């Protein structure tokens, strides 16, 4: 396996395939870089260098007790980019990975970045507050914490249903996709997964979005049951200076897998324009 050791001595797994302009993929919670299989194959075949890592504590990366926070996640990316000498990067982040992309730019700048794509991403803030009334109540995130802590194996299996919209009328359940989600989730460490819930729910990424000075494509489903559109991409796209918002009618949270052909084509068109 290809591993990179961070400055705080944590081993991170990553994939680095092909040649050409680099596209870097940041996965969602509680998944791993394997969630991007369709995209890495497609864009690699289009002549791009495709790179994805397993976030610390997730997938095949080292399971960590400390450092499971967005500052450290962003620093991990900065160190990996420097290690691989990546420049002119297309950064693509799903869900929590969208927060990771935004926070990387907010914390480390955009000198290495050409464009970004945030898909079903958590910014600016998921949590419902007095100033964010369309957000998700804390009780929901407490429930995610309880499910992760008490029986994450069953919780991850159950989560695939709203995640991919398999509870919607007329949608065909993809059991292989459900099993892949479960397997990726169970590869990671429970402490890392537990800590990460705070990072995707309570961290405010507004200042990071304001710092982005490169073109950003927001892709979001209007039936996202995990990160509702009204409190995420619609707001985020109004904050980023050069933003394009593309809404998938009936799209789920896992639209990069469910609608892979359309997603890949839309991202490719954005990259090439």
Question: How far apart, in whole angstroms, are the C-alpha atoms of residue 44 and residue 67?
Answer: 32
- How far is C-alpha 137 from the geometric centre of its chain's CA atoms? 21
What lies within 8 Å, CB to CB, of 58 at 6+ separation is: 27, 29, 30, 31, 32, 187, 188, 189, 192, 193, 196
- State how far the Cα of 209 lies from the Cα of 211, in Å rounded to an integer: 5
Give the residue among 79, 74, 83, 88 at the shortest CA–CA distance from 22. Answer: 88
Which of 208, 224, 259, 266 is an active site residue?
A: 224
**Catalytic annotation on 95?**
yes
Range list of β-strands (E), 54-202: 89-94, 113-119
The answer to whether 100 touches 77, Cβ cutoff 8 Å, is yes
Burial class of 114 by CB neighbour count within 10 A (0 to 12, 13 to 18, 19+): middle
Neighbouring C-alpha atoms within 13 Å toward the C-beta of 51: 25
Q: Exactly one of 103, 108, 220, 253 is catalytic; which is it?
A: 253
Considering 26, 32, 95, 232, which one is annotated as catalytic?
95
User: How far is the C-alpha of 200 from the C-alpha of 175, rounded, in Å?
Assistant: 26
Compute the distance between CA of residue 4 and CA of residue 80 in angstroms, rounded to an integer. Answer: 7
Q: How far apart are CA 176 and CA 165, in angstroms?
A: 15
Q: Which active-site residues does the annotation give? A: 95, 224, 253
């Amino acid at each position: 396996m290809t591993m990179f050791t961070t400055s705080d001595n944590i081993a991170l797994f990553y994939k680095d395939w092909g040649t050409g302009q680099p596209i870097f993929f940041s996965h969602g919670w509680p998944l791993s870089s394997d969630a991007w299989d369709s995209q890495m194959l497609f864009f690699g075949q289009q002549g791009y260098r495709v790179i994805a890592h397993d976030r610390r504590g997730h997938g095949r990366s080292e399971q960590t007790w400390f450092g499971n926070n967005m500052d450290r996640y962003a620093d991990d990316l900065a160190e990996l980019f420097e290690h691989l000498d990546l420049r002119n990067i297309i950064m693509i982040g799903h869900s929590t990975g969208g927060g990771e992309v935004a926070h990387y730019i907010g914390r480390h700048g955009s000198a290495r970045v050409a464009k970004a794509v945030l898909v079903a991403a958590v910014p600016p803030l998921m949590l419902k507050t007095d100033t964010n009334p369309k957000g998700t109540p804390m009780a929901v995130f407490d429930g995610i914490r309880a499910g992760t802590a008490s029986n994450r194996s069953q919780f991850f299996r159950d989560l695939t249903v709203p995640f991919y919209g398999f509870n919607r009328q007329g949608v065909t359940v993809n059991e292989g996709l459900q099993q892949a989600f479960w397997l990726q989730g169970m590869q990671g460490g429970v402490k890392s997964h537990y800590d990460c819930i705070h990072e995707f729910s309570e961290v405010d990424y507004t200042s990071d979005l304001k710092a982005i000075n490169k073109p950003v494509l927001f892709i979001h489903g209007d039936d996202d049951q995990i990160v509702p559109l009204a409190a995420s991409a619609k707001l985020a796209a109004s904050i980023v200076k050069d933003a394009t918002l593309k809404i998938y009618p009936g799209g789920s949270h896992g639209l990069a897998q469910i609608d892979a052909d359309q997603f890949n084509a839309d991202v490719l068109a954005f990259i090439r324009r």
